[in-house]
Structure 1
Amino acid sequence: MPKRIQHLDRYLSDWPFVPGQVMVREVKGSDGRPLLQLRVDMGIIQLEVSGRPDGEKPEGFDTYYDSLLSQSFADGPAFQLDHDSCREIDREFYQFYHRRVCWLTLNRYDEAVRDADHTLALMDFSTANSPDPHWTLMHEQYRPFVMFHKIQALTLIQLEKSNHRGAVEAIDEGLSALQKLFDAHSSAEESDEDTLLDKLRDMKSSIAKHYDVGPSLAEQLAQAIASEQYELAAKLRDRLDKGPQN
């Protein structure tokens, strides 16, 4: 019986790695299911497009987060995360980061938002049940970055719909959420704050200029309050609360 080939020479040579470039492609599995592949230095990462990116089903659930939720409801106040749980959470964070980057690279923004929401929900759960503040910080330091990716994706979804004002308003809403987060955690690095906020402001300015979009709802609200047009301000606030409209 011929020995099964185990090396990856052909796969790596057919898809050369380019430093500094995010390299993603969509392929089909042996059963025809859709897959994502991410080229990294010295290898290729393959990811499922739904559920947990590695294809595992922890305790029969689509993701480890879903398994933890079920366990926490079953255990009630006695529920706690142990060392093994924290390790599995770390794995899931890392896997969803890779897939989120893939979706953004492929301009698949709905999927990017979905995976960002999963990461943020897992982060909320981990922080609420963390056995170690240092472990909590290890993940929480990336919350602004995950939010940034989600804001970008939500904005680009609106642009794909030619809803240019909705795109600007999505950025405004994201800027407000990020600023509140930074204000609540004064220990965050100022340079990181400035970088993310400035990138979103530049994106907003570019969209507004390119598509000739007038003042956003947030800007109109500020102007209405400044000029004491409180009835108009109330209407604008209601529209802001509803979020970007199609």
Structure 2
Amino acid sequence: MNQRFDLSSILREWPEVPGSMTVRLLRLDDGRVVLQRRVALGVIQMETTGRPDGLRPAGHESVLADFRTRGRLDADRLPDHEIDAAEREAALYLHRAVAMAALGEIEAVIRDSEHVRSLAMIGNGASGELRSAALARLSVQAILLAVRAEVVGALREPGSGSAVEAIDRGLAALEAALARSGSISPIDSSWSDALRSLRAALVPKLPASQREELRERLEAAIRTENFELAAILRNELRQMLP
């Protein structure tokens, strides 16, 4: 047995932490930075850019890039092997997004989540007919990851208004993805509920200046008899109360 391939020392020096995701960025001798995730039976290593597995399908950076080059994104019909390739790649990118989220690498999470969502659109085609339930499911998970990353990024800045906006965008994207999938399960509903709960928790943290701005807009809406807008703004103000 060739000792060069023995991982025992690596596993001893970097043990898995039960109950949490054990991940790290590591610079290699050739200058590359790779992402590693410790699992119970070893280590998963991923590239930080391009495909996580480092492969170049048909000479392109990714299956998505290959499909774009060949004009396959809006094709009404794709052979099973192309759908399978899209599903495998989406799973890889989602796996990396989850690991990057554990490290707080917000831009990487959003980038990989968007890649998954783009692949999921291939699963629907120009006709809108669902061709891959797996891609639809991965897309929903990618949306949730991206929203959480955007919220974390927004909360690093003063105020949380942009965090609420990120949640609102995420809810709209989530509902669209669920509509494309053609079914809503209890799990799907719980994901939507989780985002709404997060939004409700953030709204009271908005600075007083933003609450005052909403009040002024509400008064203006009432003066101009725009009662539909007034109802929306009034509801927003209610949610802002501690």
TM tier, shorter chain?
Answer: 0.7 to 0.9
CA deviations 1:54-98 (Å, max 9, x no partner) are 11112221111101221236xx97x85334323322221121011
Contact 1:165 1:216 in 2 (8 A): no
1:137-164 CA deviation, whole Å, 9 max, x = no partner?
1221333222111111222222223241
Q: Which moved more, 1:113-122 or 1:32-41?
A: 32-41
Distance in 1 of aligned mates of 2:177 and 2:223: 29
Contact 2:34–2:45 at 8 Å: present in 1 too? yes
Q: How do 1:70-219 residues align onto structure 2 when only pairs under 5 Å count?
A: 70-72=69-71, 80-128=77-125, 136-182=132-178, 187-189=183-185, 191-212=186-207
Task: Pick which of 172-181 and 43-52 moved more.
Answer: 172-181
Deviation, 1:6, is 1.6
Shift in CA distance, 13/61, structure 1 to aligned 2, threshold 3 Å: same
Residues 24, 221 of structure 1: alpha-carbon distance in 2 compared, 3 angstrom cutoff: farther
Structure 1: gaps (5+ residues): 238-246
Structure 2 residue aligned with 1:67: 66
CA-CA distance at 1:115 after TM superposition: 0.7
Paired letter, 1:114: R
Structure 1 residue aligned with 2:21: 22
Question: Structure 1 CA distance, aligned partners of 2:18 and 2:218?
Answer: 45
Q: Which runs of 5+ in 2 are unaligned?
A: 234-242
Q: Which residue identity is paired with 2:189?
A: D
1:165-201 deviation digits (Å, cap 9, x = unpaired): 1111221232233335445656210x22332122212
* Alpha-carbon distance between aligned partners in 2 of 1:172 and 1:138, rounded to the nearest angstrom: 25
CA distance in 2, matches of 1:136, 1:151: 23
| Deviations, residues 87-116 of structure 1 (Å, cap 9, x unaligned) | 322221121011100111111111111111
Q: State the percentage of identical aligned residues.
A: 25
TM-score (norm 2): 0.77
| In 2: Cα distance, 1:18 partner to 1:80 partner | 45
Partner SS state of residue 5, structure 1: helix
The alpha-carbon distance between structure 1 residues 217 and 179, as it changes in their structure 2 partners (threshold 3 A), is farther
Report what 2:50 is aligned to.
Answer: 51
Letter in structure 2 aligned against 1:175: L
Residue type of the alignment partner of 1:28: R
Local SS of the residue matching 2:46: strand
